[in-house]
Structure 1
Amino acid sequence: MTHAGSTLAPPVAAPKPAPRGRARPSLVRAGGVAVGLFLGVRLTGVAVLALVAHLAGRHPLPLLARSWDSVWYLGIAAHGYGHDLPSSDPGPHSDLAFFPLYPALLRAVTALAPVGGGTAGLLISWTAAAVAAAGIHAVGSRLHGRATGIALVLLWGLLPHAVVLSMAYTEPVLTAFAAWSLYALLAGNWLWAGALAALAGLARPNGLAVAAAVLATAGTEVWRRRGKVSHRLWTGAALAPLGWTAYVLWVGRRRGDLLGGYFEVQRLWGSTFDFGLGSLQFVRVMLLHGTRFVFPMALLLVVAATVLYALLLLDRVPLPPLVFSGVLLLIALGGSGFFESKPRFLLPAFPLLLPLAQMLAKTAKTRPWHATVLVATLAGLSYVYGAYLVVYAQAPL
């Protein structure tokens, strides 16, 4: 647990710290273990999905590489922006709703390697997921020690919607930039934090949460030091919102409404920020009239995320992960439309799992058999539900 008044908390001290020369190799080894565990659980999940898809008479590769939003990103990578899909609910769907970093990466990979767009998307997502796992471990280790860092990565890889981390989606890319930006903030490296936040802002609309963490932390530091801060802080804070802001303004200019054009695109997708009114109306309909399994599960996961954020507040974690998770949760709770996708929107909010990771790390030390059973249970639920979402649910992820 960190001190209440600390913005950039130091790493939790071990009872008997290793000599400095050994600390970095040891941390690297622990990070390698965390990434290896993550890849193991996700590859097992892909194997389960492939088996379920085979039993359903479907091929797993198109399901992973060309489902829902993946198709839009592939189209942008191949043909550029400017294509709408006719829709009556509530209006035409424009590809301008999708941020540009992932399509740019797709074009780069297909230009450099002899692979198609779908395979390139999977290569990008799987690589980004591994980088994200390393960053998540680094953040968890800095805050609560290496055992918690490993547990945090394991829990993230076994979330009910973790199947998305194995698909050609943008959540792994955002999480990779977010995790390492938060780590840079905790380490006091403002330039890296700001640059990575800018890239996160080019990856997804809710990438704005990373910039919010940088700006809030910088503002607190300026206040604490009464303005006597280095130019690196000011530069990092200036860089942080550039990616998100630049794309939103570019879409606005293209639509003829500099400040409102992007938000009009999102409105036509049925996605607006209404302080949760649309979500409450949807929950009311779902509870009164019943609906398919995906929606109550999404409601359960959003409620769980809210409870976990309350635990973060009680644990008094440092400001960067607190603001980052809080903004992601606010966007998920306050945004209307695509209720079934809210758990996916929260996938990058890995700091929400810190209280559970601490508990799992302690259990693994004192009652390893109990921890093993718990992880195996989580894995079974994650694999089965992930396969159901992709193969059978027929609901937007």
Structure 2
Amino acid sequence: MSETQAPVPATPAPPRTRTNAPDRTPASRPFVDPLRHAAPALLGYVAVRLTGLAILLVMAAAQGKDGMLRLYGRWDSLWYQRVAELGYGHTVTLPDGAVHSDLAFFPLLPALERALHALLPPLDVAGAGLLVSWAAALAAAWGIFAVGALLYGRRAGVLLAVLWGAYPTAFVQSMAYTETLFTALAAWSLYAVLRERWITAGLLAVGAGLTRPVAAALIAAIGIAGVWRLVNRRGPGRAATRGKDRAPTWRVVVGVLLAPLGWLSYVVFVAVREGEPFAYFDVQAGWDNRIDGGVALARFVGEQFGANVFAGAGLCAAFAVLGWAVWAALRLRPALPVAVYGVAVVVISLVGSGYFGSRPRLMMPSFLLLLGPAVALAGARRRWVAAAVVGAAGIASGAYGAVALLGAGPP
């Protein structure tokens, strides 16, 4: 530098920052962020179910009946309420000699009804049952969305949850029944398996096993997925899990061993109470619920053909639609536990000897049946197509539910 050149000013030092200043980086909110992610699915589900409820109340008012009473004061709801209030021990002997025992009803829902009634004394057991069912319905829709979004994207997850709310017998989701509670536990258990959270999955399966006997489908799904996980490098989901994303072997084993404990504990409870090792199955037989491999179903279909060929043909068409739904879902190659669970629920619903009209309701926890339509609608170029289909399905489901609830037959 020459003596006549002006000196270059030094770059000022950056200002000191306070070490105790708050971090303004957006933090992850464990509950709020997932809720916002699932909001479209939950809002869509609520809209569909409110549509069904509105149709019920309008039709009930037109007939001079109490629509809300139909949601908590009929059929199985009354059995659950009695267990919640008085415990087990009630039986009814029918004219044909068959004995209906309340031991056929699993304990988790009545336990929750009793607990909520104790916490909120002004709320009777019937109202508590409705609140439990409605809260569980939202949890189920959220869990179904979570599984669908994880496997096929957010839009498919939204449609899967909303279509579940428009299922033909979705009116049961608004009743004090166990379907919503069981589906919520099952959906989140499957989600936990897909995320390698095996102990969480097993604990949720324990709750499901205390809710409905069809928990056997969920137990099988977790068990098969666990074995597959242990003997293969790939996880139970669609993508491989490596490194820190893979759960240790002992967690997989613990989750698989936990899964059947809820179902088994209730079967053992009934056996000890009745003094017979297979008492639970005898209780179910009293309700004409036994595994016969589909003989009763085939006999019923044959009787319909004998009485009215159109009725028989209609049943065959319904089974064709059911077969297509299963095929369309499996064609998408869903994750192993989701596929096993969904198919097992359908099979269990078909191989029993129970009342035929209850079978669509018994299949409702198998949201796998809606996977094909959900993914197809998610890929539609025109979004109004999905809205139109969901809207039409919601109205049809609501109308059918109102007719069923206001009629004389059980759902």
**Separation in 1 of the partners of 2:256 and 2:136?**
24
Alignment of structure 1 residues 113-192 onto 2, 5 Å: 113=120, 114-192=122-200
- TM-score normalised to structure 2 length: 0.86
The offset of 1:289, in angstroms, is 1.2
Structure with max Cα Rg: 2
Q: Any idea what the Cα deviations from partners look like across 1:67-123, whole Å, max 9, x if unmatched?
A: 110010001111111111111456111111000001100100110112111111110
% of aligned pairs identical? 41
Matched to 1:357, the amino acid is A
2:291 is the alignment partner of 1:273: yes
1:70 aligns with one of 64, 77, 81 = 77
The offset of 1:385, in angstroms, is 0.4
2:303 aligns with one of 262, 265, 285 = 285
**Separation in 2 of the partners of 1:246 and 1:193?**
18
2:226 is the alignment partner of 1:218: yes
Greater shift in the superposed pair: 346-355 or 100-109: 346-355
Change (3 A) 1:193 1:67: same
The offset of 1:344, in angstroms, is 0.6
Q: What residue in structure 2 maps to residue 379 of structure 1?
A: 394
Matched to 2:56, the amino acid is L
Where in structure 2 are there 5+ consecutive unaligned residues?
A: 1-25, 235-246
Q: What residue in structure 2 maps to residue 55 of structure 1?
A: 62
Greater shift in the superposed pair: 284-293 or 320-329: 284-293
Matched to 1:390, the amino acid is L
Matched to 1:273, the amino acid is I
**Separation in 2 of the partners of 1:21 and 1:229?**
26
Alignment of structure 1 residues 1-397 onto 2, 5 Å: 28-89=35-96, 91-113=98-120, 114-224=122-232, 230-258=249-277, 260-290=278-308, 301=318, 303-363=320-380, 366-392=381-407, 394-397=408-411
Q: Any idea what the Cα deviations from partners look like across 1:330-387, whole Å, max 9, x if unmatched?
A: 1111011211000111111112211110011112xx1123223222221221111010
Give yes or no for contact 2:289–2:352 (8 Å, CA) kept in 1.
yes
Q: Any idea what the Cα deviations from partners look like across 1:139-161, whole Å, max 9, x if unmatched?
A: 00000000000000111001110
Q: Which has the higher helix share?
A: 1
Where in structure 1 are there 5+ consecutive unaligned residues?
A: 1-18
Change (3 A) 1:300 1:380: farther
CA RMSD of aligned residues (A): 2.5
**Separation in 2 of the partners of 1:176 and 1:41?**
18
- TM-score normalised to structure 1 length: 0.88
Q: Any idea what the Cα deviations from partners look like across 1:257-290, whole Å, max 9, x if unmatched?
A: 21x1111111111111011011110111122214
Matched to 2:306, the amino acid is L
**Separation in 1 of the partners of 2:28 and 2:129?**
39
Give yes or no for contact 2:100–2:287 (8 Å, CA) kept in 1.
yes
**Separation in 2 of the partners of 1:292 and 1:121?**
39
**Separation in 2 of the partners of 1:296 and 1:76?**
41
How many residues are paired up?
A: 373
Give yes or no for contact 2:81–2:126 (8 Å, CA) kept in 1.
yes
Matched to 1:376, the amino acid is G
